[in-house]
Amino acid sequence: MKNMRDFISKAESEGILKRIKVEVDWDLELSHIAKLNEEEKGPALLFENVKGYDSPIITSVCTTTERLALIMGQPKESTLVDLYNEWARLGENLTPPKWVDAADAPCKENILMGDEVDLFKFPVPKFYPLDGGRFYGTAHFIVSKDPESGWINLGTYRSQLLEKNKLGTQFIKGKHADIMLKKYQAMGKPMPVASIVGCDPLLFILGAARVSAFVSEYDVAGALRGEAVEVVKGETVDLPIPAHAEIVVEGEVDADKFM
Q: Which pLDDT belongs to residue 259?
A: 61
Pairing of strands 44-47, 17-20: parallel
In the chain, where the domains are located: 4-85, 94-253
Do the beta carbons of residue 203 and residue 209 sit within 8 Å? Answer: no
Do the beta carbons of residue 87 and residue 205 sit within 8 Å? Answer: no
Angle between helices 65-72 and 4-13 (to 10 degrees): 120
Q: In this predicted model, what pLDDT tens digit does every residue of 24-37 receive, in sequence order? A: 999 999 999 999 99
- Percentage with pLDDT > 70 across the chain: 100
> How high does pLDDT run on average in the chain?
96
Query: pTM of the full predicted structure?
Result: 0.94
**Edge-to-edge order in the sheet of strand 135-137:** 135-137, 159-163, 166-169
Residues 80-99 have a mean pLDDT of 97
Fold for the domain defined by 94-253? Pnp Oxidase; Chain A (2.30.110)
CA distance 209 to 230: 20
